[in-house]
Amino acid sequence: MNRHCGGILWLTGLSGAGKSTLARELERVLRARGWQAFVLDGDALRTGLNADLGFSPQDRAENIRRSGEVAGLFAQAGIIAICAFISPYRADRDRVRAAHAAAFHEIHVSAPLEVCEARDPKGLYRRARSGEIAQFTGISAPYEPPLAPELEIPSGRWPLERCVVQLARYTERRFALAVAA
Amino acid sequence: MNRHCGGILWLTGLSGAGKSTLARELERVLRARGWQAFVLDGDALRTGLNADLGFSPQDRAENIRRSGEVAGLFAQAGIIAICAFISPYRADRDRVRAAHAAAFHEIHVSAPLEVCEARDPKGLYRRARSGEIAQFTGISAPYEPPLAPELEIPSGRWPLERCVVQLARYTERRFALAVAA
């Protein structure tokens, strides 16, 4: 019915790398083409589905497990789930991949820590450096970059527009279905 | 973009009342009309998102909370989430309603216990009576029927076809959007 198949675009990267902005822009572009796309955002899910979870490694694992299951349901429904999650642990991301192998596309939204910290759009790095926020990825908790992501978007070097075009092009190539006229 | 708004059709009722069958049939009918609809089924979610939960009142509450959050995300995405969950506790259903008030439609798929037990499509009532399954709704755990559902479908008296037509008509009236030609 849709002219594309469902799937999971899993955007991982540091806080401030631009995952959410890129996700929203991609959603807008895909919808303008008549595609079914929906952003699942880590921050937003922590106010609902994952409101009971914190930032310990165990809670982060459960946060990513649940979010991956939801993304899998959207993919089953024929929708492109655009997932914006720091998801710092490789093992957590790999479990999502294993559970939804055919649908899963790992996109590394990569910007150096110095760039993210200099941007600091929400003032979180400042608060993490001062010790006000604990277990903050990149400062007081690890980030394990993907070893072999399906795509890397160097958001620290490219302007937003180029990032969006690149990701939209990737999405179209991987998810478009031929439709009889 | 779709010609309808998103929403939550929450089918509650005893095991064997026909919730899942009705949900699948409605999904088929709506898709045939070009609508975006997707079934969220309690049994299916217990193999994924809710695989860590059992059947105690606390676990049932969390099962329904998470499932309601997922349904809310589908509604936000513009999809009709057709939810088939026994969801025996009124308080659990009311929490989903409170969290997603504008989108939530409670549909009581009502069949008497005797009818459901006589059907016993999966042999669960027999196993519950023998004590092999504990905390089984209707036998060894309560079912609290809705006091004021948006719609009641008497699936114990009506043939499936009539149930489907009735629910599809309700859905169309509540969710259709006028579209400029």
pLDDT (tens, 9 = 90+) of chain A, 181 residues, equals: 788 999 999 999 999 999 999 999 999 999 999 999 999 999 999 999 999 999 999 999 999 999 999 999 999 999 999 999 999 999 999 999 999 989 999 999 999 999 999 999 999 999 999 999 999 999 999 999 999 999 999 999 999 999 999 999 999 999 998 765 4
Q: Which residues of A are catalytic?
A: 87
What are the pLDDT digits (tens) for B125-180? 999 999 999 999 999 999 999 999 999 999 999 999 999 999 999 999 999 987 65
Cβ contacts of A53 on chain B, cutoff 8 Å: none
ipTM confidence score: 0.93
- The CATH number of residue B75's host domain is 3.40.50.300
Q: How confident is the model at residue B17 (pLDDT cuts 50, 70, 90)?
A: very high
pLDDT of residue B3: 87
Give domain status of residue B180, yes or no: no
Q: Within an 8 Å CB–CB cutoff, is residue A135 touching chain B?
A: no
pLDDT of residue A179: 64
Separation of alpha carbons A134 and A131, rounded Å: 6
Residues ≥6 apart with Cβ < 8 Å to A25? A160, A164
**A78–chain B nearest CA distance, Å:** 9
Comparing CB atoms, the residue among B31, B73, B76 nearest residue A1 is: B31
Give domain status of residue B40, yes or no: yes
pLDDT of residue A115: 97
Give domain status of residue A48, yes or no: yes
pLDDT of residue A2: 81
- Per-residue tokens: B5: 């708004």
Q: How many CB atoms lie within 10 A of CB A76?
A: 15
**pLDDT, mean over chain B:** 96
C-beta separation of B78 from B107 below 8 A? no
Answer whether B66 sits within 8 Å of A49, measured CB to CB: yes
Query: What DSSP string runs through chain B?
Result: --SB--EEEEEE--TTSSHHHHHHHHHHHHHHTT--EEEEEHHHHTTTTTTT--SSHHHHHHHHHHHHHHHHHHHHTT-EEEEE-----HHHHHHHHHHTTTTEEEEEE---HHHHHHH-TTSHHHHHHTTSS-S-BTTTB-----SS-SEEE-TTTS-HHHHHHHHHHHHHHHHB-----
Give domain status of residue A1, yes or no: no
Separation of alpha carbons A87 and A137, rounded Å: 9
Residues in chain A: 181
Average pLDDT over residues B13-35: 97
Cβ contacts of B77 on chain A, cutoff 8 Å: 36, 38, 74, 79
Answer whether B38 sits within 8 Å of A72, measured CB to CB: no
Q: Which residue of A has its CA nearest to B40?
A: A73
Give domain status of residue B181, yes or no: no
**A27–chain B nearest CA distance, Å:** 11
**B177–chain A nearest CA distance, Å:** 17
Domain region containing A63: 7-175
Q: Within an 8 Å CB–CB cutoff, is residue B43 touching chain A?
A: no
Nearest to A82 by CA among A27, A30, A32: A27
**Whole-prediction pTM value?**
0.94
Q: Which residue of B has its CA nearest to A35?
A: B1
Answer whether A38 sits within 8 Å of B69, measured CB to CB: no
Domain count, chain B: 1
What are the pLDDT digits (tens) for B49-102? 999 999 999 999 999 999 999 999 999 999 999 999 999 999 999 999 999 989
Q: Which region, left, alpha or beta, applies to residue B123 given φ > 0 means left and ψ of -120 to 50 means alpha?
A: left
pLDDT of residue A106: 98
Cβ contacts of A68 on chain B, cutoff 8 Å: none
